[in-house]
């Protein structure tokens, strides 16, 4: 890890670390990273995916790690579909733990957070979806997210959290480019469910449209 961070800093590279993908309270990936950054600040941006082990330890163990991640601008990415399927998995046994990293605690500590999808229709996750709204819907239930439309929707579209770059202008600000997705079949109370129908507007121009198939009732 130290060689990786030194090389990335030398070549001006950002990092996406898939780290602590296990439910072990003695896992040391994020602990080591937090300590290393406190002594050797990293000039680029770091994303840490998974972070499942944070949920296996105590709040007291997690708090100083999250404070250090926030202080150094590290983004924590939860992968709900993959982690729900693979963590605490034993054949013939119902899982007891969700395997989701500490999203709420990370947000409270000021850590930038996102939701993502690691494996899609491969050996690790035979199902899965590349649609970020499916990921958000999974996160809604697995992490018990609230205020989904107005606040937590940033978990799938916050480019600043992903790249460490300055935040984009609000899409509805006067003079800003209108790049939005419209969901005609949903509302703020049920979204992201019932969101298959979509209108994609990119820089003020309608570029994609997906409509519901017409539903017909038939008498028997």
| 18 lies in the same domain as 34 | yes
| 133 lies in the same domain as 208 | no
Q: How many CB atoms lie within 10 A of CB 52?
A: 27
| 53 lies in the same domain as 95 | yes
* Nearest C-alpha neighbor of 81 from the set 25, 10, 130: 130
The C-alpha torsion from 8 through 9 and 10 to 11, rounded to 10°, is: 50
Res 219: pLDDT: 59
Q: Which of 125, 140, 163 is the last residue of a domain?
A: 163
Rounded Cα distance, 178 and 157, in Å = 15
Q: What is the mean pLDDT of the chain?
A: 91
Res 54: pLDDT: 95
What does pTM read for this prediction?
Answer: 0.90
Rounded Cα distance, 64 and 111, in Å = 12
| Domain count across the chain | 2
Range of the domain at 74: 2-163
pLDDT, tens digit, 9 for 90 and up, residues 184-212? 888 888 899 888 889 999 988 999 998 87
| 184 lies in the same domain as 139 | no
Residues 179/159, Cβ–Cβ less than 8 Å: no
| 123 lies in the same domain as 213 | no
| 134 lies in the same domain as 45 | yes
Low-confidence stretches of the chain (pLDDT beneath 50): none
Q: Which of 143, 163, 183 is the last residue of a domain?
A: 163
| 173 lies in the same domain as 199 | yes
Give yes or no for a cis peptide into 192 (omega within 30° of 0).
Answer: yes
Res 176: pLDDT: 81
| 31 lies in the same domain as 139 | yes
Res 216: pLDDT: 54
| 181 lies in the same domain as 117 | no
| 158 lies in the same domain as 200 | no
Compute the Cα dihedral for 111, 145, 62, 59 and give only its sign: positive
Rounded Cα distance, 79 and 52, in Å = 9
Q: Which of 140, 163, 186 is the last residue of a domain?
A: 163
| 156 lies in the same domain as 181 | no
| 191 lies in the same domain as 88 | no
Domain containing 72 — which CATH number? 3.20.20.140
């Amino acid at each position: 890890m130290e060689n990786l961070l030194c090389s990335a800093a030398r070549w001006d590279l950002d990092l996406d670390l898939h780290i602590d993908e296990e439910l072990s309270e003695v896992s040391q990936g994020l602990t080591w990273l937090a300590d290393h950054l406190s002594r050797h600040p990293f000039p680029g941006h770091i994303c840490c995916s998974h972070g499942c082990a944070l949920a296996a330890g105590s709040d007291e163990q997690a708090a100083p790690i999250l404070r250090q991640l926030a202080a150094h601008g590290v983004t924590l990415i939860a992968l709900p579909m993959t982690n729900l399927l693979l963590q605490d998995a034993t054949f013939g046994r119902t899982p007891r733990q969700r395997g989701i990293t500490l999203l709420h605690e990370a947000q409270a500590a000021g850590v930038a957070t996102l939701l993502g999808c690691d494996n899609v229709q491969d050996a690790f996750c035979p199902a899965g979806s590349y649609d970020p709204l499916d990921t958000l819907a999974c996160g809604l239930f697995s992490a018990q997210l609230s205020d989904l439309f107005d606040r937590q929707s940033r978990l799938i579209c916050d480019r600043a959290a992903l790249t460490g770059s300055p935040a984009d202008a609000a899409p509805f600000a006067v003079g800003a480019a209108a790049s939005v997705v419209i969901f005609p079949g949903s509302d703020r109370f049920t979204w992201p469910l019932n969101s298959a129908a979509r209108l994609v507007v990119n820089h003020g121009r309608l570029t994609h449209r997906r409509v519901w198939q017409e539903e017909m009732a038939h008498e028997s």
